[in-house]
């Protein structure tokens, strides 16, 4: 398998495991990634998914060995497969954290951007180098990068094929946190466990409202938020937590129902 998968309490850790190729994405890796993400989504005991890479890279990019001889029809099919998988990860009901170790270039940067939260190790490198290889980003880079860092900066990074370090990625908002490399997974797990302790219906409704709102005008987005907010008032979690707050007591845990 090109992907390892394990569950620690309520957190699933998906590790792309093709270190000899810096975890480059070929068809087999993409299929394994899709299966593991689907497993996390289907497991009711998993509340948060963490995605990382083995060795010196998160994902160094799509596999150029596989891509170099593709014709236009084959390239379209390859991009569609990847985009469908990344969109499924982005659309998961559960939060997804990218723990970015080492290189996150091309398809690797695009995979990280499909995740909800990105934490970078100090040595992480980000970029969309595709125009230097005669192609465009094909796994969502032209769409997600400007939504995250703004149109001007996204165009600069894509048009120049420049690679940036973790601190620059933090400055432009591509990642939310930079930590020492040896603290990357513990930081990601700490964040994941903090998320897992909250009311999961509320967490998932918040994610859904944010994702939908990013694709529409603010008034439509506010309607999505109102729907999410009101739905939470039909849950036991809301009743229990607010009753505990009013009674100045502490709720031990959420029932997630």
Delimit the domains of the chain by residue range.
3-196, 200-246
Q: What are the CB-based long-range contacts (under 8 Å, 24+) for 78-81?
A: 78/27, 78/138, 79/138, 79/139, 81/27, 81/30
The rounded distance, in Å, linking the Cα atoms of 56 and 58 is: 7
- Tell me: the pLDDT tens digits for 182-229? 999 999 999 999 999 999 999 999 999 999 999 999 999 999 999 999
Which of the four CATH numbers 1.50.10.10, 3.90.226.10, 3.30.1600.10, 1.10.10.60 does domain 3-196 have?
3.90.226.10
User: What would the two tokens of residue 30 be?
Assistant: 């993409």
Q: Does domain 200-246 have CATH number 1.10.12.10?
A: yes
**Residue tagged active-site, from 20, 130, 167, 190:** 130
Burial class (CB in 10 A: 0-12, 13-18, 19+), 109: buried
Query: What is the distance between the terminal CA atoms of the chain, rounded to a whole angstrom?
Result: 35
Residue 252, pLDDT > 90, answer no
Q: Give the per-residue pLDDT at 1.
A: 82
For strands 3-8 and 11-16, give the pairing: antiparallel
Task: Respond yes or no: is residue 110 known to be catalytic.
Answer: yes
Name the catalytic one among 6, 90, 110, 156.
Answer: 110
Coil, strand or helix: which one is 68? coil
pTM: 0.95
- The percent of residues above 70 in pLDDT, for the chain, comes to 100
Average pLDDT, the chain: 96
Q: What is the pLDDT of residues 18-63, one digit of tens each?
A: 999 999 999 999 999 999 999 999 999 999 999 999 999 999 999 9
- Which of these, 124, 128, 132, lies nearest to 157 by C-alpha position? 128
Specify the pLDDT at position 174.
Answer: 98
């Amino acid at each position: 398998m090109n992907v390892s998968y394990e569950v620690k309490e309520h957190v699933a850790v998906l590790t792309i495991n093709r270190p000899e190729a810096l975890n480059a994405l070929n068809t087999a890796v993409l299929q394994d990634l899709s299966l593991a993400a689907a497993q996390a989504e289907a497991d009711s005991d998993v509340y948060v998914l963490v995605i990382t890479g083995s060795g010196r890279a998160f994902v160094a990019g799509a596999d150029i060995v596989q891509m170099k001889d593709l014709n236009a029809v084959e390239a379209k099919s390859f991009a569609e497969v990847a985009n469908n998988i990344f969109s499924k990860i982005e659309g998961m009901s559960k939060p997804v954290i990218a723990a970015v170790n080492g290189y996150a270039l091309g398809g690797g940067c695009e995979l990280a951007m499909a995740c909800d939260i990105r934490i970078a190790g100090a040595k992480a490198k980000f970029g969309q180098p595709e125009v230097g290889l005669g192609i465009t980003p094909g796994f969502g880079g032209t769409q997600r990068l400007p939504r995250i860092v703004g149109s001007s900066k996204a165009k600069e990074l894509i048009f120049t094929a420049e690679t940036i370090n973790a601190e620059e990625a933090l400055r432009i908002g591509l990642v939310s946190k930079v930590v020492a490399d040896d603290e990357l997974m513990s930081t990601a797990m700490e964040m994941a466990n903090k998320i897992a302790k909250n009311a999961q219906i509320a967490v998932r409704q918040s994610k859904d409202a944010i994702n939908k709102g990013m694709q529409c005008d603010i008034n439509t987005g506010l309607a999505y938020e109102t729907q999410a907010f009101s739905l939470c008032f039909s849950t036991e979690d809301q009743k229990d937590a607010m009753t505990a707050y009013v009674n100045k007591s502490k709720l031990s845990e959420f029932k997630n129902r």
